[in-house]
Chain A
Amino acid sequence: MNGIDILARLTERFGTAMLASHAEQGDHTALVERAALPEVLRFCRDDAALGFDMLMDLTAVDYLTYPGREDAPRFEIVYHLYSVPHNHRVRIKAGVEEDDLVVPTAVPLWPIADWFEREVWDMFGLRFAGHRDLRRLLLYEQFEGHPLRKDYPVSKRQPLIGPRN
């Protein structure tokens, strides 16, 4: 299926939950409501025509200092899906407000989401409801804060040993 058909199929199934869609630079993207995420992702994986059996990437973006997005949700969680039998891709995004940083987990659908979600928790501080073991992946346990957020300065060091330079 080409990208336009994929988005059409998602829209026909999820009508109101699909907030927006675009195909800039050839990447077909759908912005959905956060509450509808588990259903949308399950449909993407289980529907025969879509067949997205591979979760290529799961990441987040912090739109705190993005010009022109002041009233949009601060974070956005981004799923890149790929289908091995059909060889097509789609990007699913959902906005996450700053005062409610919880996203339903995708681990029951794709086991790789375990580590991707741990990394998002580590770097951004978004919790995943239903994740069995949400601990830091790349940083050490004693680290405070979430470094990929825009309000974390790049050179603020928290050494475990050695001087605080």
Chain B
Amino acid sequence: MGLADFFTTKLDSALGWARKYSIFQYPFVTACCGMEYMATACSHYDVDRFGAGLPRFSPRQADVLFVVGTISHKMAPVLRRVYDQMTEPKWVVAFGVCTCTGGFYDNYATVQGIDTILPVDVYIPGCPPRPESVLDGLMKLQDKIAAGRQRF
């Protein structure tokens, strides 16, 4: 019925609005991008004004997995395990070009893009990406969160 759809749509957008402004990130930091992640999280390029300022270091308590920095084949099972342990709804941000495509590390030790092991929602390229790029990616993620069907 039309009225039921109206209510679920409104509920969806309300939930989407709430979820996009309260992002609890799991910063899976490995490498150089971690320095730019720190810079984005700190006072100059504050990420807290987006509501995303509280990192949660437990996968059960986080909803966005920020994969920051190169993932090697040794680290890949750990990453997959952390992703599997996260509860729904969850999103993945590939921060830095090493996580998007492997970067310029085309060698025996590097995973050529984490989308070979996880489903990725937002890609933030850059080596490392400037904090402005990170915030742009975060805003795209917020749009994606708000626009999606909210399950609960």
Contact = CB atoms under 8 A, between A and B. Distances in A.
Interface of A: 139-140, 147, 152-163, 165
B70 to A, nearest CB: 14
Contacts, number: 38
Contacts of B111: 159, 162
Interface stretch (B8-16, B32-40, B60-68, B74-82): B74-82
A58 to B, nearest CB: 21
B73 A160 contact: yes
Interface residues of B, number: 13
B112 A161 contact: no
B108 A157 contact: yes
Given A162-B116, A165-B116, A139 B74 contact: yes
A160 B108 contact: no
Given A140-B74, A160-B76, A165 B112 contact: yes
Contacts of B116: 162-163, 165
A139 B110 CA distance: 11
Contact of A162 (B107, B109, B117): B117
B106 interface: yes
B101 to A, nearest CB: 11
A15 B63 CA distance: 68
B107 A160 contact: no
Most chain B CB atoms below 10 A, which of A155, A159, A162, A163: A162
A102 B43 CA distance: 55
8 contacts: A153-B108, A154-B107, A155-B108, A158-B73, A158-B108, A159-B73, A160-B76, A161-B77
A163 B116 CA distance: 7
B115 to A, nearest CB: 10
B83 to A, nearest CB: 11
Contacts of B109: 139, 147
Nearest to A154: B107
Contacts of B77: 160-161
Interface in B96-152: 106-109, 111-112, 116-117
